[in-house]
Amino acid sequence: MEAQKHWMIHLQRVYYPTLAAIGIPSNIMSFVIFWRRKCMLSKSSPFYLMAISIADTAVLVFIVVLELSIKYLTVEPFWSREPWCSVRDIFAYGASNTSTWLVVAFTAERFLSITTYSLRKQVSIPHGTLWTICIIFVLGHLLALPYYWAYISMYSQDLQRWVCIYKPNSNLQYKLAIVSMQTIVSHILPFVIIGILNGLTLRQISLINRVNVICTSGQKVTPLLRSRKRKSVVLLATISMTFVLLTITRSITQIILRTKGWALNRDDYSLSINVAADIGTMVSLSNAAINMYLYACTQTKFRQEAIACVKYSLRRCCLITNSPSGHK
């Protein structure tokens, strides 16, 4: 009961429903805009951005709404009982893995397209992009499949309700294996790959501009990095670096929690690591809700389409409200 009075509980009760209310409509709007308009991007970029919108929506639905919002707003969440207890983390971690590795794939594709001219046509083929997205989706959920055998629904005499917990009699090595695998897949490898690729991309761009800004007949040749290519670089840096900045706290705290063993009570907010871990989770999950606003800040064409979409929606609402049938 003491934990229920902690300010973190009240904060999360408000934060997660608000995050879902903001993020789900914005992700749907982003998907529609990229579906109908290319927004002056490369052939493959809209496919990645639409896939990221879908994956982020899945994160908001399965983690933010069905898991965390229900956890803090109800006494006994529906996933405390079977069969939901066993499948909950398959959908949650599957959505998270897919969202994370789509950002990694988009970063890698843009890196190859920007820095390797000979591979630009090969890596930007929409057909190949769709295959990459499908493979990431399937593998992301397959990696989460071992969690099906990790949890069990039990009735707690102390809490007087059903709870979903790690199986007490399960093999310790099995639990360590799936937790370690998830930590590497979600919190270590993506940061290493994105950091290396962004560093190499910025270095290559710097070298290209340095080489191409030369004097010919008293005039400077226009740098190679212009217009669409610059937009692609700005979009790449914005998406990938925002992902890193928003998820780094959760990654660090999750790695620390993995070293604390299984006896740590995650509902005990007198422990600073639990407060830090939940704040890290809150900030990390916000990444699934803000991509539309990042696109609007960095891409002029997308911003124009988003404004037009909002105006159209408002006009439709006004027409429905002012119509005779709307007053009935």
pLDDT means per 10 residues, the chain with 328 residues, are 70 95 94 81 84 96 95 89 91 95 90 71 75 95 93 86 85 84 89 88 70 49 54 77 87 80 75 90 93 83 85 80 60
Please name the residue that has the structure tokens 């606003």. 293
- Residue by residue, DSSP assigns 164-219 as EEE-TTS-HHHHHHHHHHHHIIIIIHHHHHHHHHHHHHHHHHHHHHHHH--EETTE
Q: Is residue 295 a part of any domain in this protein?
A: yes
Q: d(Cα 79, Cα 51) in Å, to the nearest integer?
A: 27
Run of H or E including 298: helix 291-298
Q: Is residue 75 a part of any domain in this protein?
A: yes
> 219: alpha, beta or left, given left = phi > 0 and alpha = psi -120 to 50?
beta
**Cα 115 from chain centre:** 26
What was the pLDDT predicted at 208?
Answer: 62
Q: Is residue 289 a part of any domain in this protein?
A: yes
Please name the residue that has the structure tokens 């983690």. 63
DSSP conformational letter for 162: E
Long-range contacts of 150-154 (CB under 8 A, 24+ apart): 150/89, 150/174, 150/175, 150/178, 151/85, 151/86, 151/88, 151/89, 152/85, 152/86, 153/80, 153/81, 153/82, 153/85, 153/86
Q: d(Cα 206, Cα 121) in Å, to the nearest integer?
A: 23
- Residue by residue, DSSP assigns 39-104 as TT--SSHHHHHHHHHHHHHHHIIIIIIIIIIHHHH-SS-GGGSTTHHHHHHHHHHHHHHHHHHHHH
Q: Is residue 303 a part of any domain in this protein?
A: yes
Q: d(Cα 60, Cα 95) in Å, to the nearest integer?
A: 9
> What does the H/E/C string look like for 103-121?
HHHHHHHHHHHHHCHHHHH
Q: Is residue 98 a part of any domain in this protein?
A: yes
| Token pair of 47 as six digits | 């496919």
Sequence-separated (6 or more) residues with CB below 8 Å from residue 243: 100, 103, 190, 194, 287
Domain count along the chain = 1
Domain extent, residue 216, equals 3-257+272-314
Q: d(Cα 269, Cα 259) in Å, to the nearest integer?
A: 18
| Token pair of 178 as six digits | 């799936």
Cβ proximity of 182 and 190 under 8 Å: no
Q: Is residue 324 a part of any domain in this protein?
A: no
Cβ proximity of 31 and 54 under 8 Å: yes
- Closest by Cα among 91, 104, 32 to 61: 91
What was the pLDDT predicted at 3?
Answer: 44
| Token pair of 188 as six digits | 């270590």
Q: Is residue 308 a part of any domain in this protein?
A: yes
Q: d(Cα 98, Cα 288) in Å, to the nearest integer?
A: 12
| CATH assignment of the domain containing 215 | 1.20.1070.10
- Write the single-letter amino acid at 256: I
Q: d(Cα 84, Cα 148) in Å, to the nearest integer?
A: 10
Q: Is residue 262 a part of any domain in this protein?
A: no
| Token pair of 79 as six digits | 């996933």
